[in-house]
Amino acid sequence: MEPLTLNIAREVAIAAAYEAGRIVKERFGTLDSYDEKDDHGDIVTEADHLAEHLILGKLRNVFPEHSIRSEEFGENDVQSEWLWLVDPLDGTNNYAVGLPLFAISITLVYGEMPVLAVIYEPITERLYVSVKGEGTTCNGNPVSMNRAKPFNKARVGWIQGHAVQNEAKAVKLRHYIDVHTKRMMRLWAPTLQWTMLARGDLDAIIVYNSEGEDLYSGILMVLEAGGTVIDYSGRPFTGVSDSPYLIACQPKHQSYFLSLVQQGLA
């Protein structure tokens, strides 16, 4: 992995996130319509397409030799160890109904390992950046999970894939977590939950089979903020997965949340 490539990629991704954020923010609250993408309630708006077009244009211009996979566009035909994952508007359902909870997510993967993540929240103007081995920042200030407060009952974010819907095991686990924690949060914008965990405002995130373009930016954010990510068996999670079932939290709380999930599935 070339450091120069990563440094340039960081600047390009930040610039693209800012400009895409300006586009979606300007159009927020003005939508007349949107399109249904599937039977699971996922939608797409004009803002998704405009933001994606801008981001992909910038990436292709600087890195024509890199692979790209984006939420609406899909994949390009380039084969490379470098892969960009783009969600131009994470939280489109929120955006469409006027709920100001959405973000832009851009991730760079090298050899199936996330190495760069940029998440931008246009409404709050918070820019999160993570580089593998260099930590996580928010608007240039270091972010650490060490500020998380002790809890009697935890605040947990729940993220599930669109296709999961009301799968019996998912419903059972979801209900168990809801009953046995202080709050179980579902924001319709997973990247916002990952940034909340990274800065210590959530205690854990439970992922139930939710692979997508927005997943790995959040994972890198949390890992670089001092967190841990494990699967439901307690094994450390690295790389990428087609069907991730994951727990993310502070390392000292790993056993607690692993037990919570395993009991919920029992």
The average pLDDT across 85-106 equals 94
* Structure tokens, 91: 């939280």
pLDDT reading at 40 higher than 60: no
For 201-253, how does the pLDDT look when each residue is reduced to its tens digit (9 = 90+)?
999 999 999 988 889 999 999 999 999 999 999 999 988 888 899 999 999 99
The average pLDDT across 8-24 equals 97
Are the CB atoms for 190 and 239 separated by under 8 Å? no
For 178-195, how does the pLDDT look when each residue is reduced to its tens digit (9 = 90+)?
999 999 999 999 999 999
Query: What's residue 56's pLDDT?
Result: 96
* Structure tokens, 21: 């954020």
For residue 212, give the nearest of 90, 79, 94 by alpha carbon.
90
For residue 158, give the nearest of 36, 261, 233, 259 by alpha carbon.
261
* Structure tokens, 97: 């109904």
Q: Is the dihedral of CA 5, 141, 54, 36 positive or negative?
A: positive
Q: Which residues are annotated as a binding site for Mg(2+)?
A: 71, 87, 89-90, 214
Percentage helix, strand, coil, to 5, in the chain?
35, 25, 35
The average pLDDT across 28-52 equals 76
| Residue 176 burial (C-beta neighbours within 10 Å; 0-12, 13-18, 19+) | middle
Among the residue ranges 23-32, 99-108, 212-221, the one predicted with the least confidence is 23-32
Q: How far apart are CA 148 and CA 11, in angstroms?
A: 30
φ/ψ of residue 224, rounded to 5: -75, -15
Query: What's residue 242's pLDDT?
Result: 86
CATH of domain 146-265: 3.40.190.80
- Domain ranges in the chain? 3-143, 146-265
Identity of the residue numbered 108: L
For 138-149, how does the pLDDT look when each residue is reduced to its tens digit (9 = 90+)?
999 999 988 667
CATH of domain 3-143: 3.30.540.10
Residue that is written with structure tokens 């068996």 in the block:
233
For 87, residues 6+ apart whose C-beta sits below 8 A from its C-beta are 70, 71, 104, 105, 106, 191, 212, 213, 214, 217
pLDDT reading at 65 higher than 80: yes
Coil vs helix vs strand at 162: coil
Query: What's residue 261's pLDDT?
Result: 98
Q: Which residues are annotated as a binding site?
A: 71, 87, 89-90, 214
Q: How far apart are CA 68 and CA 79, in angstroms?
A: 9
